[in-house]
Amino acid sequence: MLAHATHLRLFWALVLTVLTTGCQLSPAQPDQSLYQQLGQRAGIANIVEDLLYLIVDDERINQAFKGTDVKQFHRNLTDQLCELSGGPCTYTGRDMRKLHADMAITDTQFNALTENLILAMEQNQVPTGAQNRLLKALIPLYPDIRHL
Ligand code: HEM
């Protein structure tokens, strides 16, 4: 009888905890996808546009982009980031390794571009967690771009 009463007390304590902490017995909502957090393809296109302005103003890397077809770069980088973030896009640009092969890109240049991408995401109110997730998704491309 005593054991029964104890169990009953524990049961009501649990019910009370669930009610007061807002704990849900149903499964939690899945995390918003990175693609959604970036604002879908339109949001990513805005980020890439702002990135382009930052590149033009950045003495560390703007020389490398002289003569670049801006429209093509914008479309291809937007598709690439859209695909990498889980969006319904397919990158149809050139092979990353071949494309960056003759540029002898330094770590300083790579970091400069990354810095500008972070700034462009900031300008578009992308939450810090989502910024980091996109940067993480770009890590596998590093050896191709740096040609290691
Ligand atoms: C996170 C790092 C980077 C990513 C994800 C990236 C990605 C890309 C993409 C998707 C394109 C367009 C490909 C195409 O149009 O076929 C591109 C082109 C280009 N990238 Fe990168 N890139 C990165 C870093 C860099 C760095 C650090 C530099 C030099 C400072 C650089 C220089 C260029 C140039 C000059 C082009 C245009 C080439 C042309 O149109 O002839 N990239 N990159």
The reply to whether 51 falls in a domain is yes
- pLDDT for res 26: 42
Q: Average pLDDT of the chain?
A: 87
Cβ atoms of 96 and 144 closer than 8 Å? yes
- Render pLDDT for 12-52 as a digit per residue (tens, 0 to 9): 554 444 444 444 444 444 456 999 999 999 999 999 999 99
Cβ atoms of 131 and 120 closer than 8 Å? no
pLDDT band at 148 (very low <50, low <70, confident <90, very high): confident
- Distance from the Cα of residue 94 to its chain's centroid: 21
CA distance 54 to 10: 60
Query: In angstroms, what is the span from residue 80 Cα to ligand 1's centroid?
Result: 11
Q: Which residues contact 103 (CB under 8 A, 6 or more apart)?
A: 64
State the pTM of this model.
0.83
- pLDDT for res 147: 86
- pLDDT for res 31: 53
Q: Supply the CATH number for residue 115's domain.
A: 1.10.490.10
Query: In angstroms, what is the span from residue 100 Cα to ligand 1's centroid?
Result: 7
Query: In angstroms, what is the span from residue 36 Cα to ligand 1's centroid?
Result: 24
Cβ atoms of 96 and 141 closer than 8 Å? yes
Determine if ligand 1 sits within 6 Å of the CB of residue 143.
no
Nearest one of 92, 96, 54 to 76, comparing CA atoms: 92
- Render pLDDT for 46-74 as a digit per residue (tens, 0 to 9): 999 999 999 999 999 999 999 999 999 99
The reply to whether 49 falls in a domain is yes
The reply to whether 116 falls in a domain is yes
Asked if pLDDT for residue 79 goes beyond 70, the answer is: yes
The reply to whether 65 falls in a domain is yes
Average pLDDT over residues 77-105: 97
The reply to whether 7 falls in a domain is no
The reply to whether 107 falls in a domain is yes
Determine if ligand 1 sits within 6 Å of the CB of residue 72.
yes
The sign of the CA dihedral 135, 136, 137, 138 is positive
**Number of domains comprising the chain:** 1
